[in-house]
Amino acid sequence: MTTTQIADRATAVAARASELSKVYGTGETQVVALDRVTVDFRQGEFTAIMGPSGSGKSTLMHCVAGLDTFSGGSVRIGETELSTLKDKQLTQLRRDKIGFIFQAFNLLPTLTALENITLPMDIAGRKPDRRWLDQVIAMIGLADRLGHRPTQLSGGQQQRVAVARALASQPEIIFGDEPTGNLDSRSGAEVLGFLRNSVRELGQTVVMVTHDPVAASYADRVIFLADGQIVDEMLHPSADGVLDRMKAFDAKGRTS
């Protein structure tokens, strides 16, 4: 084993962006959405990504998750460099290694909660690990709602189904883009609690974009983006601490 491999094992990186750049458009209309971003998402860690609107949060998440192409640098999920993959392999990696939770719950209306949860695995032709699935369903507290369709569930319950769907296949990493953005604070707190539990108790890796300091306080660390660059990082964040940091950025923005 090389020194690099030993170091890699010690840090156990679920996903890594190195010098990642993303440029939209050309010439006058060119936008540098990501400007040489380097970041590790370690296994079993819950990371929140924060920053002003347009700072590149969604772009970073989409590029690392293999949902979007990038202009420079590299991304790896586990040991796999995304740039080495053909389209079909990338689709397969997304399906097998990555879970997604979006702001809009993205459940299929004609399927029951349980069918929605197992859909990605059904598509992949994989059998869910029944014990794991039961554990996930017990954790999100929807055992008595599994036969319900999304329209028969509240927003919070629908998002819990989406969380279970993301967890069900035991992906390498779960990405959420404002997963609590459409929820009231109580439902949001529940979903955030489940995400945190999935990290603490199940060893899941989670990366979540959020505007909400309270949501960010559920994470192990917060990275702050501004103009496509990582400008700060905070470990063991508290909601007040994150809020203060955001205010400090705003003040700096006004004086510079």
Ligand X SMILES: Nc1ncnc2c1ncn2[C@@H]1O[C@H](COP(=O)(O)OP(=O)(O)OP(=O)(O)O)[C@@H](O)[C@H]1O
Binding site for ligand X (CB under 6 A): 24-25, 31, 33, 51, 53-59
* 143/137 Cα distance (integer angstroms): 6
Closest approach of Mg ion to the CB of residue 5, in Å: 35
Tell me whether residue 54 or residue 241 sits nearer to ligand X (CB atom).
54
* 161/37 Cα distance (integer angstroms): 32
* 115/184 Cα distance (integer angstroms): 25
Residue choice 18, 21, 43, 58 for contact with Mg ion (CB under 5 A):
58
Q: Which two tokens stand for residue 119?
A: 């859909």
Closest approach of ligand X to the CB of residue 253, in Å: 15
Tell me whether residue 58 or residue 80 sits nearer to Mg ion (CB atom).
58
56-64, 142-150, 162-170, 186-194 -> range binding Mg ion (CB under 5 A): 56-64
Reduced 3-state DSSP string for the chain: CCHHHHHHHHHCEEEEEEEEEEEECCHHHCEEEEEEEEEEEECCCEEEEECCCCCCHHHHHHHHCCCCCCCEEEEEECCEEHHHCCHHHHHHHHHHHEEEECCCCCCCCCCCHHHHHHHHHHHHCCCCCHHHHHHHHHHHCCHHHCCCCHHHCCHHHHHHHHHHHHHHCCCCEEEEECCCCCCCHHHHHHHHHHHHHHHHCCCCCEEEECCCHHHHCCCCEEEEEECCEEEEEEECCCHHHHHHHHHHHHHHHHHC
54-62, 94-102, 159-167, 187-195 -> range binding Mg ion (CB under 5 A): 54-62
Closest approach of ligand X to the CB of residue 32, in Å: 8
Tell me whether residue 8 or residue 35 sits nearer to ligand X (CB atom).
35
Tell me whether residue 100 or residue 142 sits nearer to Mg ion (CB atom).
100
**Which among ligand X, Mg ion, none contacts residue 187 (Cβ within 5 to 8 A by kind)?**
none
Closest approach of ligand X to the CB of residue 228, in Å: 7
Strands 98-101 and 173-177: parallel
Closest approach of Mg ion to the CB of residue 65, in Å: 13
Tell me whether residue 24 or residue 203 sits nearer to ligand X (CB atom).
24
Tell me whether residue 31 or residue 138 sits nearer to ligand X (CB atom).
31
Binding mask 12-51 for Mg ion (x = CB under 5 A): ----------------------------------------
The site that binds Mg ion (CB under 5 A) totals a number of residues, namely 1
Tell me whether residue 168 or residue 225 sits nearer to ligand X (CB atom).
225
Q: Do the beta carbons of residue 85 and residue 75 sit within 8 Å?
A: no
**Which among ligand X, Mg ion, none contacts residue 99 (Cβ within 5 to 8 A by kind)?**
none
Residue 80 engages Mg ion in binding (rule: CB under 5 A): no
Please report, as ranges, the residues that interact with Mg ion according to CB under 5 A.
Answer: 58
